[in-house]
Amino acid sequence: GTPGVGKTTLGKELASRSGMTYINVGDMAKEGELYEGFDEEYDCPILDEDRVIDELEDRMSEGGVIVDYHGCDFFPERWFHIVFVLRTENSFLYDRLESR
């Protein structure tokens, strides 16, 4: 989902209630510097998807993990039983992002 729709809030709540492990891919990438460059146009680092996969492989094979990221196209399908795409009305989203 788009930034501000509630991915982190929902992911942490689900992990708390289920006893599963919560992983925020953006935070993990920042901590491990899992980038392959910098996008000047968007003023943000470019995620090194292969390094992210390598970093997560062992944890995901154990199961019981909630992964928080804005897309899922580069993750192996075998890792997931279900994928949630969160959306919200633009008027709510604008207010949330503006308050950040």
Which one is predicted more confidently, 94 or 59?
A: 59
Residue 100 has pLDDT above 90, yes or no: no
Q: Which domains does the chain have, with CATH numbers?
A: 7-99 (3.40.50.300)
Distance CA 20, CA 24 (A): 13
Amino acid at 72: C
pLDDT digits (tens, 9 = 90+) for 4-15: 899 999 999 999
* 38-78 residue pLDDT tens: 999 999 999 999 999 999 999 999 999 999 999 899 999 99
Longest Cα pair distance anywhere in the chain, in angstroms? 40
Residues in the chain: 100
Q: Is the dihedral of CA 98, 32, 38, 60 positive or negative?
A: negative
Runs of H (alpha helix) within the chain? 7-18, 25-32, 49-62, 90-99
